[in-house]
Amino acid sequence: MPQMPQAQSRAGELRVVATGAEGYSAFHPRPLPPVPPLAIDAGLQELLDRANQALGRLDGITLLLPDPDQFLYSYVRKEAVLSSQIEGTQSSLSDLLLFEADAAPGVPLSDARETANYIGAMNRGLALIQEEGLPLCNRLFREVHSVLLGSGRGSEKTPGRFRREQNWIGGARPSVARYVPPPWEEVEPAMAALERFLYDQPERTPILIKAALAHAQFESIHPFLDGNGRVGRLLITLLLVADGVLKGPLLYLSLYLKQNREDYYDHLQRIRTEGAWEPWLRFFLEGVIEVAVSTTATTGDLVQMIERDRQVIHEFGRGAATAARVHDLASRYVVFRPTVAAQALGLSAPPVYGAVKRLEQSGILREITGRQRGKLYVYDEYLARLNEGTTEPPS
């Protein structure tokens, strides 16, 4: 078959589903962990050690943040944009923030809404883990999926339910597809086996190896009719938070996967055709290191930038206190309206407008509508740093 040149591999096997002109075979993944076991040579072990250290430094920087939630708000949105872009949406981080500010003329609303759904899905997953104490499990995956596809594109694809029909990747039909996941009857057993692996059955697996293997296995099972890529990438973040490796979703691995999209897909396919788990693990760990190091540096730079701007505001004299509060709000939401800021801060409009004007004159904020009424302001330098890897900020 064109999508699977070998009948079986260490990762699973092809089984004929239909014969004839439109015949095809579907892949049936073997339960994790792989047999024979992963061959962790010195090079892979070094990568694993470096990845754990990079994650430790990334998690540690949250202790230095004056308001960790302020940064997580932005990073969750960046991950949402990048993961959605992998699936073909055109919405940028700027588009998403404008959409959330209810001021999105010219913004592809369906794409922005889809990205906003991703944020809701991640927040639902985090709440189930951090507030309800739920481990990563099939119930969590279904609830996250129900939010992800709860509205807009894909909402007709049975949100929150494992599929009950065949799906495929690439091509107009299974017979010419690049990859055909297992038939729907096999989804429940395969996901039950994946859940056991996440519970460290039959054996304990180091967290980063578990995240790498579980993500690839989830993509091979493709348990939903739509949204599998996004849920599979959420799995990585949620697993790291659930295991306590990260206090919050600071690691946005979708940036690395987007920048190396073809290699990413090729590695997933080589697992199925060749059982090539070790090359995939190497690729995954290299991505964790790259993104963790970059995010640690960016977060440090943002902390310094915010503190620098606070020093500028301190020199304002009269009105500095209100300007500092507006600046804090801008640090969290990046894009905002003065009227909304006044309401959020419990202040009357005139002092907030005065503070915004001073911040604009100082080059900290920029007005982006060009209108006399309904003005919208952006924390310009902050957004520019967050936009790295996505698109340019609005002009």
Q: Which domain CATH number covers 324?
A: 1.10.10.10
7 — pLDDT class (breaks 50, 70, 90): low
Return the structure tokens found at 228: 């599998």
Tell me the mean pLDDT in the region 16-31: 94
Q: What is the pLDDT of residue 395?
A: 36
Q: What is the pLDDT of residue 160?
A: 96
For the residues of 368-388, what is the DSSP string, one character each? -S--SSS--EEEHHHHHHHTT
- Is residue 52 in some structural domain? yes
pLDDT digits (tens, 9 = 90+) for 132-154: 999 999 999 999 999 999 876 66
Euclidean distance between CA atoms 371 and 326, whole angstroms: 21
Euclidean distance between CA atoms 64 and 244, whole angstroms: 18
Euclidean distance between CA atoms 280 and 271, whole angstroms: 7
108 — pLDDT class (breaks 50, 70, 90): low
Burial class (CB in 10 A: 0-12, 13-18, 19+), 38: middle
Domain boundary pick from 291, 325, 347: 291
Q: In this structure, are strands 24-29 and 12-18 parallel, antiparallel, or unpaired? A: antiparallel
5 — pLDDT class (breaks 50, 70, 90): very low
Better-predicted residue by pLDDT, 12 or 65: 12
Mean pLDDT of the chain: 89
**The residue type at 304:** Q
Euclidean distance between CA atoms 123 and 76, whole angstroms: 9
Q: What is the pLDDT of residue 1?
A: 40
- Is residue 16 in some structural domain? yes
Tell me the mean pLDDT in the region 155-166: 91
Q: What is the pLDDT of residue 104?
A: 47
- Is residue 299 in some structural domain? no
Q: What is the pLDDT of residue 289?
A: 98
Residues 241 and 336 in one domain: no
The secondary element (H helix, E strand) that includes residue 48 is helix 42-61
- Is residue 392 in some structural domain? no
Q: Rounded to the nearest 10 degrees, how much is the dihedral formed by the CA atoms of 155, 166, 261, 278?
A: 130
Q: Are 385 and 301 in contact (CB under 8 A)?
A: yes
Tell me the mean pLDDT in the region 77-102: 78
Whether 343 has a pLDDT exceeding 80, the answer reads: yes
Tell me the mean pLDDT in the region 208-221: 98
Domain boundary pick from 291, 326, 361: 291
Residues 364 and 264 in one domain: no
**Which of 288, 394, 330 minimizes the C-alpha distance to 74?**
330
pLDDT digits (tens, 9 = 90+) for 247-297: 888 888 988 998 999 999 999 999 999 999 999 999 999 999 999 999 899
- Is residue 287 in some structural domain? yes
Cα of first residue to Cα of last residue in the chain, in angstroms, is: 49
List strand residue ranges (DSSP E) for the chain, in order.
8-9, 12-18, 24-29, 335-336, 365-367, 377-379
**The residue type at 104:** A
**2-16, 17-31, 290-304, range with the lowest pLDDT:** 2-16
- CA angle, 95 as apex, 90 and 97 as ends, to 5°? 140
Residues 78 and 216 in one domain: yes
**The residue type at 116:** A
Number of domains in the chain: 2
**30-39, 262-271, 369-378, range with the lowest pLDDT:** 369-378
109 — pLDDT class (breaks 50, 70, 90): low
The pTM of this model reads: 0.89
